[in-house]
Copies of this chain bind each other. A is one copy, B any other.
Amino acid sequence: MAMHEKPLAFRAWYATMAVHGRVLDRVSDELERETGLPAAWFEVLGCLQGTDGRKRMSELASELLLSRGGATRLVARMEEAGHVEREIPRDDRRATFAVITPKGQDALERAMPIAIAAVETHFGSQLEESELQVLAQIMGKVLGVLDPGCAAAVDTAPDAAGVSPPLPPPPS
């Protein structure tokens, strides 16, 4: 059973996986080479930035698709490097928050334009504005079902006012 005989959804998914891996490799390499920041660290900092610079360990884990143990170790390394600090709230000392430090803020601000440029180079520049628009809409729609919380954070809604319009008719 060759690929072109498989259902459309599978082919679309498979191509998405293939693109994801290839773009991510290139963008991660470029990000780390230019800024010294591993992609995972960039993700953590960006994720914290969203919510006022602080987030529970377990929230971090679920947003980044890590196990709790994985999050613990990742944050531990970043704390070592001074990009985040751990903070235990007085009212519930079971929880731990990861908090971005000024050094982490700085690193993120330095890295963001590099990341944006790398994504543009290795991904965005291959596509028309209209294609990016449709893609953002499609992925936003799926994310809204799979993980509404994350979807809200990612927020792929069109810039302009109003709700997302439906997709135009298929090509041909």
Contacts and interface: CB of A to CB of B under 8 A. Distances in A.
A71 B56 CA distance: 37
How many copies of the shown chain assemble into the complex? 2
Interface string A10-38: 11111111111111111000000000000
The bracket for how many chain A residues form the interface is: 35 or more
A19 B130 contact: no
Contacts of A133: 8, 12, 170-171
Interface string A132-172: 11111111111101110011011111111000111111111
* Secondary structure type dominating chain A contacts: helix
A122 interface: yes
A6 interface: yes
Interface stretch (A75-83, A84-92, A93-101, A112-120): A112-120
A126 B145 contact: yes
Contacts of A24: 17
Given A15-B154, A134-B170, 5 more contacts: A7-B124, A9-B119, A11-B156, A14-B154, A16-B139
